[in-house]
Each structure stands twice: as structure tokens, then as C-alpha cells.
Amino acid sequence: MTTPFPAGTGGKSGIVLEQVGRYESGQFAEDAAEIVATSADSDYLFVVNAEVPGVDVLDATDPADPERVDRISVAEAWPDVAEVTNVALKDEVPVGDRETTVLAVSAVAEAADANGRVLFYDAADRSNVGSAEVGATPDAVKFTPDGSRVLTADSGEPSDDYEIDPPGTVSVVDVREGADAASVEQADFAEYDGREDELRDRGVHVFGPNPTASTNLEPEYLTVADDGETAYVVLQLNNALAEVDVESATVEGIRALGYKNHDETGNELDASDVDRLCIRNWPVYGMYQPDAIVAFESDGETYLATANEGGMRDSEGYSEVTTVADLDLDPEAFDCGAIPGVESVGDLQKSEHLGNLLTTEARGDVDGDGRHEEIYAFGGRSFAIWRPDGTLVYDSGADFELLEAIHHPEYFNADGLENVPFAQSTVKGPEPEGIAVGDVGDRTYVFVGLERIASVVVYDVTDPADPAFVQYVNNRNFDVDPQAVENGPADPRDVGDLGPEGVTFVPASASPVDAPLVAVGNELSGTTTLYRVHALREAEGSGE
């Protein structure tokens, strides 16, 4: 179902997304379509296929009928690869004595304590033209706007037993002498070792076994400002943002992103998996914990848009995760009498209220007496716009869950692989995962992928302080049970799109149809879906 809502634009021209094409890999629940990259000089879409591990190359010359024409197996160039995580494409990158369109691929090593790599490929013939060693577990890769450098966000994820915990870093790969002669410098967080209490006092979520800053701070995603001088790096599990100077490859600062008060009007959430839809205020703080981040400019100022997915440390060696029912709450800290239907902390902890909501044990005991005065949930269930200094400019509040409730009340907060409603209400809700920004005419738009319910939401962010909702798109077929696809006998082609992981805006200058496109990689359904972006006036004038 594709449902346009060109409302709230204040009478200005808006846009409508129309699905025009879809590539089906035939792989289901195998992370076969994640991040999508393209460029003005390339006729192809490059799609991360983690199962290969590698990259599927799609010919999108006809967006209505994208087809795979090649597959890059990263293991052929780097046998130690365990997983491919991200891709980026840039035109006019030097390789030897020529310039060409180069694909950068970030890849994770098999060994938990080994560094990852960024591998470079000629986009035209898909030949490997170079590589560079980066930090452990690189999760994201980006070119600077001028193509002179490639940056990776190296999360340094610990092993499941926490016996190995590599440092988190940001690698700056210099390709000015060519992708075949790349050199690497790394920004790390060693200068914050011994300053963990200072970071905590500022609101940075530093916690866990042996929480040394250099290993506890884990870069998840990054973006680069238009001038190419500064990178902004999401520290997802730490609910913080790092600023990195690209030229010197140094961390210039760490900013806590703060906490969303779900007890304020506009920030409501559904916190129970009991069989009822109940989006309301609760005495809960949400840790924003963004995944994807993108920089854009408005009136000469840089802004950052984030998809506030949420993340948690939950493994064999350490887990911060518990439920509100299992917290020892301080009854004096909660004004239960002011909450409809709740008369005591015991009521608050019932399953039909907050009892089953996942929360962290690592935050909320304000006075250190062993009892929690505050409750912290994972993720913001929203997208947000920030200034580079970490100041919150806008948050979409409860919009995403309200949109779900309007369009899919029978499957509200369903998981990607089950049509069971409310399954994600106690976890991270819709889980905003991917985000992209693009200009259409004189307006700027943000496109956000909701991983669990499998939707894409569009906002006009021309005024970053006052975005306007534009459209809600969902191509999931709820008449088909994903479990019947995963286990048989249902056909994976019938389930629609599941698990949008990456969202990519393709400007008209790089589009084969002379109109902008939005490409979405859906990891669970293994599909790559293309939407044409229609300017509203154009659509009205042409009868579309």
C-alpha cells in the first residue's frame, strides 16, 4: 500500500513517491539487500548482500525493471572477510594514471580482534583496484564530498563473552594519490580514557564491564559536512555524537544527545505488548541512540538528521537489558496517582502498563541506593534534527507510532518476520533505521525507513525547526505470513518489502528518468525497491 498525504506543507509544492520498480534477490531473511549506492556517472545500483558476503550490481537503466548484472564477492580480494556492512560510490576518483567511478566497500574480519578493511572497486568493470586496513568492525563508509578521502566508522564490537573488546575508531583513508595507493590515519578515543566519569556526568552512556572510553565508545554511522572538513559520528550505544576533524583525523569533541521525555505531550509511546493499542504518556525517558545520520544545509547552516533506532548491549558476557517489572523502583520518585489507571508502583509494573518494556539497568539509579528513580528505554522511535553541537532542533515525537496505528491497527508494532501486533511495543517500537535527505526543486526532504513495520516516511525539512509530514509508504503484504515464507510454503515474492535497512536518495542529475528516485534496500525480503519522486505540481498537471 502506498498512501500519499501531501498535507502540512503550508500550501507549498510537495512530493509524492510512486513505486516504479523492484529487484527480488530470491533470498529471504538473509540480509541480501541492505545499503544502496549510486552516482551520476554510474548506470548501476550497488547493493550490500551480507550473505555473499559482497555486493549485488543492479542495472537500473530502466527503473521499472532493475536486474542483477554482476555480483562482487569480497572474499576473492580479501579471504578473511566475515561480513560486508556498507558501500559508497564516488565519481572521478584517481586510480593509477586515470580517474574513474570507484566503489568503496567496508568489510568486517572473521576474527573478533582483527581489523576490518575498506576495499575499492572500479564501478565499470567491478575489478578490485585497492584496499586499506581500517579499525575493527567497520559499520559505515563514506566519501568526503570532493572524493579525496574515505571515512569508516569502526565500532570495535566486543566478542560475545567480552574477552575481546577492540577500540572504537574512525578511519580516514586518503585516496588523493589513488585508490590503489591509499593511506590511513585513525581518530580514536584514547584521550578520554580516565575521563569516563566526566563523560557520564555530561550524559554519555558509558557502561558495561571494564568501561574504558576508548573501547566503550562505539562508532556506528557517520556523515560528512558539505565542506568536507568535519565528520559527525554516531556513538549509538553511548547515545552520543562525536565530531572528527577530517584533515588531522582527530576527535574534536563528544556530545551527549540527551533523553526524550515520553511523559511530555507529543512524545507518547505504546509500551505494552498486551493486546490493545495504547499510545500515551508514561514516566519513561528514551535514549535517542541513532543509527543512520545525514548532514544537510539550510540557509548556510549545517544540520544533522538522525534515525533514532536504539541499541543495547545484550550478549553472553554482559547484558544491560531488563524489564521495568524487574527493576526495583523507588515509589517516592513516581507520581503514580497522576497516571490514569495507575495507583502505585506495583500497578506501573504490570504487563498492561510498563511491566514488559525493555529498559537498561545501567542508568536510572540517580542516588546510588540500588533503586531506580528513572526509567530509560532504548531508542527514540522517531527521527530528529540536530545542530552540530548536539542541540536538538526537532523531534518527530510520536508520529511514527501514530502513523502505524492509522494504517495498520491490526498489525501495530509488528516485527519484520511475524505479523503479530505489539511485538515491538516493549522493545524499540518501529525502529527507524535508515535515513536520506534530498532536494526537489527548492524544497528539502527527509526519507526515513522504519525497519520493523517496513515503511518509509517522508518529511519536508526545508525549515529544520518546523518540518512537515508529507507521505507514508508501506509495501508489506500483511495477507502473507512471513513465517510461512521463511519456513515454507509461501512464495517470498508475495510478502512484499520487509526490513528496510538503507535509504538512498538519487537526485535527478544521477537518475535514468530525469527525475529523482529513492532506493530502499530491504534486508529481510531481499528486495531493492525504487520509487520515483513526483513533484506535486508536476503530478497534478500530468494527471498522475
Q: Note the pLDDT tens digit of each residue in 428-476.
A: 999 999 999 999 999 999 999 999 999 999 999 999 999 999 999 999 9
Where does the pLDDT of residue 13 fall: very low under 50, low under 70, confident under 90, or very high at 90 and above?
Answer: low
The residue assigned the cell 541492505 is 34
DSSP secondary structure string for all residues of 55-119: EEEEE-SSTTS-EEEEEEEGGGT-TTEEEEEEEEEEEEEEETTEEEEEEEEEEEESSTTS--EEE
Percent of the chain residues past pLDDT 90, beyond the cut: 92
H/E stretch holding 22? strand 15-24
Record the cell numbers describing residue 87, joined without a space.
Answer: 558501500
CA distance linking residue 74 with residue 297, whole number of Å: 35
Record the cell numbers describing residue 249, joined without a space.
Answer: 583525523
Q: CB–CB of 266/245 below 8 Å? A: no
Query: What pLDDT does residue 10 have?
Result: 37
Residue 1: pLDDT over 60: no
CA distance linking residue 233 with residue 254, whole number of Å: 9
413 Cβ contact list (under 8 Å, min separation 6): 270, 401, 404, 421, 422, 423, 424, 425, 429, 430, 452, 453
Of 152, 240, 170, 242, give the one whose Cα is nearest residue 204.
Answer: 240
Residue 543: pLDDT over 60: no
Query: What pLDDT does residue 107 have?
Result: 98
Q: Where are the beta strands (DSSP E) in 363-431?
A: 376-378, 383-386, 392-395
Of 308, 294, 313, 216, give the one whose Cα is nearest residue 260.
Answer: 308
Q: Give per-residue pLDDT as tens, 120-169.
A: 999 999 999 999 999 999 999 999 999 999 999 999 999 999 999 999 99
Instruction: Tell me how many degrees the CA angle 396-400-403 measures, rounded to the nearest 5.
Output: 125
Q: Is the dihedral of CA 225, 505, 417, 23 positive or negative?
A: negative
Q: Give per-residue pLDDT as tens, 286-324.
A: 999 999 999 999 999 999 999 999 999 999 999 999 999
Q: Is 265 exposed, middle or buried (0-12, 13-18, 19+ CB in 10 A)?
A: exposed
CA distance linking residue 489 with residue 470, whole number of Å: 38
Query: What pLDDT does residue 536 have?
Result: 84
The residue assigned the cell 579525496 is 148
CA distance linking residue 335 with residue 329, whole number of Å: 12
Q: What are the φ/ψ torsions at residue 31 (nearest 5 degrees)? A: 55, 45
CA distance linking residue 281 with residue 279, whole number of Å: 7
Q: Give per-residue pLDDT as tens, 70-126.
A: 999 999 999 999 999 999 999 999 999 999 999 999 999 999 889 999 999 999 999
Query: What pLDDT does residue 275 have?
Result: 86
Residue 220: pLDDT over 70: yes
Query: What pLDDT does residue 122 have?
Result: 98
The residue assigned the cell 554519555 is 204
| Distance of alpha carbon 252 from the chain centroid | 23
Name the least confident of 203-207, 221-225, 235-239, 487-491. 487-491
Residue 4: pLDDT over 80: no
The pTM score is 0.95
Buried b (16+ CB within 10 A) or exposed e, 193-232: eeebeebeeebbbbbbeebbbbbbbbbbbbbbbeebebbb
Residue 339: pLDDT over 80: yes
Instruction: Tell me how many degrees the CA angle 84-87-89 measures, rounded to the nearest 5.
Output: 155
Instruction: Tell me how many degrees the CA angle 349-267-319 measures, rounded to the nearest 5.
Output: 50
Q: Where are the beta strands (DSSP E) in 273-328?
A: 285-287, 293-298, 301-307, 321-323
First to last CA, the chain: 17
Residue 9: pLDDT over 70: no
Bridge-based pairing state of the strands 36-37 and 183-188? unpaired
Go through the domains of the chain in sequence order and give each one's CATH number: 2-311+379-542 (2.130.10.10)
CA distance linking residue 501 with residue 153, whole number of Å: 17
Please name every residue paired with 259 in a beta bridge, in sequence order, or none if there are none. Answer: 287
H/E stretch holding 460? strand 455-460
Where does the pLDDT of residue 210 fall: very low under 50, low under 70, confident under 90, or very high at 90 and above?
Answer: confident
Mean pLDDT of 405-415: 97
Computed over every residue of the chain, the mean pLDDT equals 95
Q: Give per-residue pLDDT as tens, 232-265.
A: 999 999 999 999 999 999 999 999 999 999 999 9
What is the widest separation between alpha-carbon atoms in the chain? Answer: 75
How does DSSP classify residue 432?
E
Q: What is the dihedral of CA 164, 170, 174, 178, to 10 degrees?
A: 60
Where does the pLDDT of residue 537 fall: very low under 50, low under 70, confident under 90, or very high at 90 and above?
Answer: low
How does DSSP classify residue 1?
-
CA distance linking residue 134 with residue 171, whole number of Å: 6
Query: What pLDDT does residue 106 have?
Result: 98
Residue 327: pLDDT over 90: yes
223 Cβ contact list (under 8 Å, min separation 6): 142, 231, 232, 293, 294, 295, 304
Query: What pLDDT does residue 453 have?
Result: 97
CA distance linking residue 26 with residue 527, whole number of Å: 8
Where does the pLDDT of residue 7 fall: very low under 50, low under 70, confident under 90, or very high at 90 and above?
Answer: very low
